[in-house]
Structure 1
Amino acid sequence: MPQSGSSTPDIQDAFKAHPELRDICGKVLGAVSQAGLSNRVYRLETDRGAFFLRLPRAETAGMVDRDDEAENISRAAGLGVALTPLFCEPVAGLLLTRAVETISAAPDALATRLGEVLGKLHASKAVFRGKLDPDRVIQSQKSTLAEDGRTGADVALLDRVLQLLRPHERPDHDRVAVPSHGDPSPGNCLMASDRLWLIDWEYSAMADPAWDLAYASLEHAFSVAQEGRFLTAYRHRAGDRLCPSARYLAIMKAKCDVVSALWGLEQLRQESDKTDFLAFAHARRDRALATARRITG
C-alpha cells in the first residue's frame, strides 16, 4: 500500500535537507518502498509524476565511493543503459530519477535483453571511475572479518575455494578492463516495454567483463539454455574478444560467490536484521565450493 509522504519520516527528512527535491518533484502524494538490501528506495507518486528516490542505509556509510558512483551513473545514462539522474548528492548518498513502468518478462527474453545491455556497456569504450578486482575485494572483506570468531569456519571454507581455483584461474588470454555495472542482479534490472534499464550503480567500476557476466548468470539463476541466449546476445553487441570461455566464466562464478558469501558475513557482523544473511552466505559458500570442485575435477 502506498504511504503518504507525511507518514514517511526519511522522505520528509530528505526533502527538508534538500529543497531541490521539492522543486523537481512537487508535492508527494504517496510513496511505495521498493525491494533492496543495501539502500532504501521509494517510488514517489507526486503531482508532477512518478520518481525513484534512493536513500542509503546507515550501515553502508563509507562502503561506497559516491563520487565515483555519480560519475559512472552519468556516463552510463549517456549510453542509454541507466536512468538519468535528476538530482544526485554524493555526500548524502541520495539519488533521484524518473520512475519507469516495468513489465514482466519471460526468463528467455530477460536473458537476451540483459546480454544486449551488458554487451553495449562493455563495448562502449567509456571509462568508469574505480577498479573492481575480485581478489582485492576478497582480501579487503576477509580483513574486516578477521576478528569475528563467529565467521572463522566459513572464511576457512571460502579460502579452500580459492586454493582449489588458484592453479586453474589463469585466463585463456589477456583480459581487458571494461566499464562494468558490478551488480547486475534481478533487483537491479528494470524491464520496460522498450528496453532493460540497469539501476544501483554503487559497485560500478572498470572490471574484467567476466565479472558482470558471471554475476548476472548466477543471480538470475539462468538455465544452461538461458545462459546460452544471454552470452549469444552479449557476443552480438560486444564481440567474441570480450566474451570469456566457459571455463574462465565458471572460475569467475566461483569468485563471485565467494565475494557474495563474504558480503553476507559482513552484514551478519554488523547485526543487520533486514534478511537472513547467514543463510545467504552459506548458500553462496556452498555453491562456490561445488563450482570449484567441478572445475578441478
Structure 2
Amino acid sequence: MAQQLSATTADPARLIWQLCQSLEFFADHKPLLLKQLTQGNRTSSYQVQTDRGHYAVRHYGPAVLGVCRQQELRCQHAAAAAGLAPAPLCLNNHQRVLVTEFLADAAPPSVIYIRQHLPALAETLAVLHQLPVQTAMLDPWLYLQQLKKQLEPHWTAHAEKIWQPLITAARDLQYFQADPGLCHMDLHAQNLLLWQQKLWLIDFEYCQLADVVFDLVALIVQFELSEAEQQQLVASYRAARAASGAGCSTHLVEKLALAKVVYAGFCWLWYWQEELDNQDPRYKQAAAHCYQLLLRLIEGG
C-alpha cells in the first residue's frame, strides 16, 4: 500500500526517503508518496512521488558477480534513447541508488500476452541487440566456472554429475561463430512491463555484449514456448534483423539447443547461490526447478 510521508511514516519508508535526500537529484523536492514495489536482500525498488514528478528508485545491496552499475547505466541510457526502456536519471554508486523514470500504471505482461505478441518482442530484441554500447563480451564457459567457484564449499556429487554435460555444452557452443549484440541477459516476466500497449524492458544490471541467442532462449525457457512458438520467435527475430539491414547468424537454430542448456545452467547456479546467501525457500524452489529443467534438456526431453 502506498504511504504518505509524514512524521509517523514507517521506518523503511523514512529510510528510503532519507537515502533519496542524500542525492543532489532530489534537492528541494517535497515528498508526497512512497510505495515499495519489490523487496529483496540484494535489491529493493520503490515508487517515489514528489512535487516534481514520479520516479522509480532502486536500492542495491553490495557488489554482485558480473554486475557493473556504470555499465548498467550506459546500457539503459541507450535502450531508453531507442524507446525500449524508462530513462535512467541518476546513479549514485556510493549510496547504491539508481533513479529512473516511473511508468505509471505499467504492469508485467501475462504469459498469454507474450505468446500472442512474439513478433513485437522479437523486434524489440532486434533493436536492443544492435545498440552501439561497448562492454566486455560474455564468455559463457568462463561465467559458468565463476559461478561454480562461489559454490565449491557446497558442491555435491549430484551437482558434479550434471556439471560435466553443462560445461561441455558451453564448450561446444563456442565452436559456432558468435552473433554478438547488446543482450539484456535477464529476460523474465518481472523485467518486462506493458505500458501504453507497448512492451518495455527494465532491470539492465546483467546487460552486456553476448551472443544474441541467449536472449532468445531466455524467452523460450521463461515463458515455456512451444515448438511452434519458438519457430515464430526465431523467424520474427530474423525478419526484424534483416529489415534493419543487419542479418544474423546462419547457425541460430543450431545453437538454440546448446544455449538452452547453458542458460538453464546459469539460472541453476545463480539461484543456488541466492538460496545460500538469503536462506529464502523461494530461491531453493527456483534452483530445484532449474536443476530439473537442466536434466531434461541434457537428456533431450
> Do they fold alike, i.e. is TM over 0.5?
yes
Give the Cα separation in 1 of the matches to 2:161 and 2:121. 32
Equivalent position to 2:248, from 241, 249, 273: 241
SS in 1 for 2:215: helix
1:14 pairs with 2:10: no
Instruction: Say whether the 8 Å CA contact 2:77–2:87 is kept in structure 1.
Output: yes
C-alpha distance after superposition, 1:244-266 (max 9, x if no partner): 53331121011111111101111
Give the Cα separation in 2 of the matches to 1:86 and 1:166. 37
Count residues in correspondence: 288
| RMSD between aligned residues | 2.6
- Structure 2 residue identity aligned to 1:247: E
- Structure 1 gap ranges (5+): none
SS in 2 for 1:145: helix
Give the Cα separation in 2 of the matches to 1:243 and 1:186. 29
- Structure 2 residue identity aligned to 1:259: F
Change (3 A) 1:185 1:88: same
Q: Which residue of 2 aligns with 1:157?
A: 161
Change (3 A) 1:34 1:167: closer
SS in 1 for 2:248: helix
1:69 pairs with 2:72: yes
Instruction: Say whether the 8 Å CA contact 2:170–2:262 is kept in structure 1.
Output: no
Give the Cα separation in 2 of the matches to 1:86 and 1:253. 35
- Structure 1 residue identity aligned to 2:144: I
Change (3 A) 1:193 1:16: closer
Give the Cα separation in 2 of the matches to 1:131 and 1:168. 17
1:107 pairs with 2:111: no
1:32 pairs with 2:36: yes
C-alpha distance after superposition, 1:125-184 (max 9, x if no partner): x13323222211100011111122xx423431331332663685455x522321111111
Give the Cα separation in 1 of the matches to 2:26 and 2:250. 41
SS in 1 for 2:269: helix
Q: Which residue of 1 aligns with 2:92?
A: 89
Higher relative contact order (CA 8 A, sep 6+): 1
- Mapping of 1:63-212 within 5 angstroms? 64-100=67-103, 101-102=105-106, 104=109, 106-124=113-131, 126-148=132-154, 151-162=155-166, 165=169, 169=173, 173-212=176-215
Q: Which residue of 2 aligns with 1:221?
A: 224
- Structure 2 residue identity aligned to 1:4: Q
Shift of 1:201: 0.6
Q: Which residue of 1 aligns with 2:3?
A: 3
C-alpha distance after superposition, 1:206-238 (max 9, x if no partner): 100111111122112223333333223322222
Shift of 1:284: 0.7
Instruction: Say whether the 8 Å CA contact 1:39–1:56 is kept in structure 2.
Output: yes
Compare 63-72 and 252-261 and name the one that shifted more.
63-72
Instruction: Say whether the 8 Å CA contact 2:19–2:95 is kept in structure 1.
Output: no
- Structure 2 residue identity aligned to 1:13: Q
1:48 pairs with 2:55: no
Change (3 A) 1:37 1:181: farther
SS in 2 for 1:3: coil
SS in 1 for 2:187: coil
Shift of 1:49: 3.5
- Structure 2 residue identity aligned to 1:281: A
Give the Cα separation in 2 of the matches to 1:167 and 1:51. 43
Q: Percent identity?
A: 22
Give the Cα separation in 2 of the matches to 1:249 and 1:20. 44
Change (3 A) 1:61 1:170: closer
Give the Cα separation in 1 of the matches to 2:178 and 2:66. 27
Give the Cα separation in 2 of the matches to 1:15 and 1:67. 19
Change (3 A) 1:147 1:44: same
- Structure 1 residue identity aligned to 2:268: A
Equivalent position to 1:293, from 281, 288, 299: 299
Give the Cα separation in 2 of the matches to 1:64 and 1:230. 28
- Structure 2 residue identity aligned to 1:123: Q
Instruction: Say whether the 8 Å CA contact 1:185–1:219 is kept in structure 2.
Output: yes
